[in-house]
């Protein structure tokens, strides 16, 4: 099978090489999936640059999103049959990744693909969808009528978070560049704040504060969240930050902080699938790139301009068999 292998840490242009590897065989409780589409995430950029060189030995196949078709089942993997269309978040830093024509995975991590989604759309939803579900539902316990601040509403995670927060019955405030305000309000944001031209804090305070902050940007967001949080508010951070932050003000509002690293699982995918089926959630696919052009997909996500195009909104998806 053909894979795009990470052969050296560094710039996208020189990091990947096409390789032929033996097609993997599903073990007990596993299925072999023909990968129709995968996607690129900031984690992939960080891995490619060498941030996780302790966890990832070269050469390596990276990538974590899959939408595809079951082509073989291992012993005891009776939940699926050959031909089933499935989607999943593959384990992070464990086993072969998903920039590949085929991928083996434990059936417990796999769900049936929502019929309303193409493989490209499903691959653009798995990792970010699972992350947002864990953040807003499992960690923050978002309730109907609460106000949620989603940082970076035009991004891969943010564009799903805006929709899920709205589906949960929350009022949604999000930060995005002015050019993206129509886009995020189209996803259901009630208020859009331009993070690039002013400070979001006074603008959120003017609204009366928020119950939940979803931090997709890092920097000083942890330290500043108490300035916008209601009493007993919750902060969910998905971005690791190198610098310590002073959280003294968090005591003043009885804040709860959650630090989240998304984990695979079927139940979360099924919950997301139900929202998709009911028209409450749509993946946002900004660009589709063939697997052979994985370097271009990385460059697009990094913000570079390719053939005159600027960085797309939402997800950059990789079509594997194109």
Ligand X SMILES: NC(=O)c1ccc[n+]([C@@H]2O[C@H](COP(=O)([O-])OP(=O)(O)OC[C@H]3O[C@@H](n4cnc5c(N)ncnc54)[C@H](OP(=O)(O)O)[C@@H]3O)[C@@H](O)[C@H]2O)c1
List residues near ligand X by CB under 6 A.
41-43, 128, 131, 151-152, 154-158, 175, 177, 195, 216-217, 238-239, 260-262, 311
User: For ligand X, which is the closer residue by CB, 30 or 41?
Assistant: 41
Cα 37–chain centre separation? 15
Count of CA atoms in the C-beta half-sphere (13 A) of 157? 26
CB 42 within 8 A of CB 5: no
CB atoms within 10 A of CB 141: 14
CB 160 within 8 A of CB 150: no
d(CA 29, CA 57) in angstroms, rounded, equals: 26
* Closest CB to ligand X: residue number: 155
Least CB distance to ligand X at residue 311 (A): 6
Least CB distance to ligand X at residue 228 (A): 13
User: For ligand X, which is the closer residue by CB, 217 or 319?
Assistant: 217
User: For ligand X, which is the closer residue by CB, 100 or 213?
Assistant: 213
User: For ligand X, which is the closer residue by CB, 70 or 318?
Assistant: 318
Burial class (CB in 10 A: 0-12, 13-18, 19+), 223: middle
Least CB distance to ligand X at residue 15 (A): 18
Least CB distance to ligand X at residue 69 (A): 25
User: For ligand X, which is the closer residue by CB, 105 or 160?
Assistant: 160
Least CB distance to ligand X at residue 248 (A): 22
Question: Alpha helices, DSSP H only, in 79-220?
Answer: 119-123, 126-132, 156-167, 181-186, 200-206
- Which phi and psi (to 5°) does residue 321 adopt? -105, 20
């Amino acid at each position: 099978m053909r894979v795009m292998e990470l052969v050296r840490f560094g710039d996208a242009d020189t990091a990947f090489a096409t390789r032929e590897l033996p097609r993997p065989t599903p073990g007990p409780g596993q299925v072999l999936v023909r990968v129709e589409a995968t996607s690129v995430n900031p984690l992939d950029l960080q891995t490619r640059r060498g941030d996780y060189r302790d966890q990832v030995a070269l050469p390596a196949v990276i990538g974590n999103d899959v939408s595809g078709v079951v082509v073989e089942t291992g012993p005891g993997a009776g939940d699926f049959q050959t031909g089933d269309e499935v989607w999943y978040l593959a384990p992070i830093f464990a086993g072969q990744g998903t920039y590949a024509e085929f991928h083996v995975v434990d059936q417990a991590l796999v769900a049936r693909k929502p019929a309303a989604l193409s493989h490209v759309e499903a691959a653009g939803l798995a990792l970010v969808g699972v992350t947002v579900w864990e953040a807003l539902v499992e960690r923050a316990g978002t309730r109907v009528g609460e106000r949620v601040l989603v940082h970076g509403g035009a991004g891969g995670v943010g564009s799903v978070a805006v929709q899920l927060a709205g589906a949960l019955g929350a009022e949604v405030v999000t930060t995005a560049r002015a050019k993206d305000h129509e886009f995020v309000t189209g996803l259901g944001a009630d208020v859009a704040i331009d993070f690039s031209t002013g400070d979001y804090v006074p603008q959120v305070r003017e609204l009366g504060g928020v119950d939940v902050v979803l931090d997709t940007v890092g920097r000083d967001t942890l330290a500043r969240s108490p300035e916008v949080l209601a009493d007993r508010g919750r902060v969910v951070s998905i971005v690791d930050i190198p610098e310590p932050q002073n959280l003294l003000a968090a005591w003043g509002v009885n804040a709860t902080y959650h630090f989240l690293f998304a984990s695979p699982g079927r139940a979360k995918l099924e919950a997301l699938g139900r929202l998709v089926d009911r028209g409450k959630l749509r993946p946002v696919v900004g660009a589709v790139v063939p697997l052979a052009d994985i370097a271009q997909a990385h460059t697009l996500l990094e913000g570079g301009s390719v053939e005159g195009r600027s960085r797309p909104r939402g997800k950059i998806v990789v079509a594997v068999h194109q």
